[in-house]
Amino acid sequence: MTAEGDAGPLWAGLLGPVEARRGGLVLPLGSAGRQAVFALLAMGAGQVVSRSRLEDGLWDRPPASAARIIQTYVGDLRRALEPSRARWTSGQVLRTTESGYLLDLPDDGLDVRDLDRLLARTTDIAAVDAALALWRGEPLSGVTGPFAEGQRTRLAEIRLTLLERRTRLLLDAGRAGDAAAELTVLAAEHPDRDSLRSLLMTALAASGRPARAIEVFHEGGRPGPGLRALHERILTGTQPARVASGYVGRTAEVAALRAVAARPSGLVWIEGPIGAGKSALLREALTGVTHSCYEVSERTGDLPEPVGAGLVVFDDLQWAGEAALRRCVRWLAGGTPLIVATRPRSDLAALRDHATLVITLGPLADQDIAALAGGDLAVVRESGGNPGFAAALIDAAGDVDRVVQARVGMLPAVLVEPLRRVALLGTDRAPTEVRAAHPGTEWFAEALASDVLREAEGRVRFAQPSVRRVLVEGLPRAVRVVLHRELAKDLAAAHISADLVVTHLLEGAAPMHGWAADWLANNVDVLTPALAVRALRHAIAQDDLPAPARTELTASLVRLLLPGDTPESARVEA
């Protein structure tokens, strides 16, 4: 017989008080400690969460009885999640493995997963509103420990980013008055966030209130260059107009596409990231060619039925749904010649395999960007060879921050956090370091496909250097500290350079106990001496460092500082 609490799929909520529900019934999770364990397991649902990860997530300094406490919490959670389970039998929802614990949740069984799915569609205001509606209050409210504190900071930043994104979409839709009303509240709550002040000033100016926009400029903290440039444009009433420029570059691609269009057959596939110039290439190559051109609807993912015979062109195929893709295959089979343009998308491979010609658009040469920009070398330097980025810089009269913020806003939101971690790593990193900066590998492939990151000669760089700068500068101090600490742990687990690990431990002012103290003790001899001295002093200065660790690390510090036994760099640092 199934108990009432066992009926229906399990659902977990972290975007507010920690909750577990089954069949509409709220399950009693119990104490804050049990809620913290449940939250950790839910965030890693479907994967084994190690005991050491649970300990680090629950305590800054795990007690000697940590393993027993966690085992008790897990037992209590099993009784709450599966009340009809016979005593001493293995659970079906929360299972024990050799290395930890695993919680099973359905795909739609966690509000944070729903949030991640909606974050990939933040060019749609309905998706933004749906994401914001998931919040039920402060995330993991009442739950203590490093994991809960870090998640609260991270999720609060995501929510603020969504609110900011919503106002951008209102502005794009011509609703400047509505955007100004919402931004007035947000900017007052976050006076040091330049992007909100910039949006508020833009919305006020666009809604006929330039004097109030100027007041906003003077009300906040010290403005950055983008905000100062916006202030100057509002003062002078000079809004930048698009610079007329002819089509430049891509001569081989234009010639190939024109040759195919003269005798259309089969499928021609044009692929490139945002701003690569796919639509511009279509216009340039197909001028004077009889064809029917359609844009795929981002909102519906549908394709219109082509009218008449002859060459058919579909732009923005990356928005196409499954039904639309099946129709493409059917049209090809029926002999309709197709040209499609799309951003890279992994699940389009089956259709791409039908192509008789594939044109991949990489960066434009510097001389072509210079021609596009009228010789402006700053545009050449900042654009990274992306013509769309260059055109946006021209339109924005060189306001780099404004262009970068718009570029980041167009990325799938699930990429933003990994890219912030990569930005904190530095300007030029090895692929192994970049992949270690964030769990999983799909995000890295997508970042390369989106041309935000580029990999060449064994190094990974941001395609536009200013994107890295803006990502770092846009991080609130509290979020930056959390990310430095998480980076240090992930890099250490991947056995990345000890100097890089300790740099992030120091940048994050990380508590040097638990894994960090053990790691430092084991790696002090491979660290650059000056960094080793800094890290050891940072650790020893902490009051809650356990006595055995303090003794060991103090001995290491003394050894490094002994005259005649220490490299000059360490003695200088000392």
Residue by residue, DSSP assigns 199-234 as HHHHHHHHTT-HHHHHHHHHHSSS--HHHHHHHHHH
Q: How long is the chain?
A: 574
| Amino acid letter, residue 240 | P
What phi, psi does 529 have (nearest 5°)? Answer: -50, -45
For the segment 32-45, what is each residue's pLDDT rounded down to a tens digit?
A: 999 999 999 998 88
Which DSSP symbol is given to 525?
Answer: G
Asked whether residue 472 carries a pLDDT value surpassing 90, the answer given is no
pLDDT value, residue 274 = 86
Q: How many CB atoms lie within 10 A of CB 172?
A: 12
Residue with the two structure tokens 């970068």:
404
Q: Which domains does the chain have, with CATH numbers?
A: 4-114 (1.10.10.10), 251-360 (3.40.50.300), 477-573 (no CATH)
Instruction: Say what the pTM is.
Output: 0.58
- 571 pLDDT tier (thresholds 50, 70, 90): very low
Q: By three-state DSSP, how is residue 287 classified?
A: coil
Q: What value does the mean pLDDT take over residues 400-408?
A: 79
Q: What tokens does 297 get?
A: 């609807």
Least confident range from 212-226, 323-337, 369-383, 560-574: namely 560-574
332-343 burial, b at 16+ Cβ within 10 Å, e below that, comes to: beeebbbbbbbb
pLDDT value, residue 414 = 74
Q: By three-state DSSP, how is residue 477 classified?
A: helix
pLDDT value, residue 574 = 40
274, 450 in Cβ contact below 8 A?
Answer: yes
pLDDT value, residue 135 = 95
pLDDT value, residue 477 = 79
pLDDT value, residue 371 = 78
For the segment 236-284, what is each residue's pLDDT rounded down to a tens digit?
A: 775 443 333 357 788 888 888 888 888 888 889 999 988 888 888 888 8
- Higher-pLDDT residue of 558 and 298 is 558
Distance CA 287, CA 291 (A): 9
- 570 pLDDT tier (thresholds 50, 70, 90): very low
Asked whether residue 309 carries a pLDDT value surpassing 70, the answer given is no
Asked whether residue 210 carries a pLDDT value surpassing 60, the answer given is yes
**Angle made by CA atoms 167, 409, 118, in degrees to the nearest 5:** 80
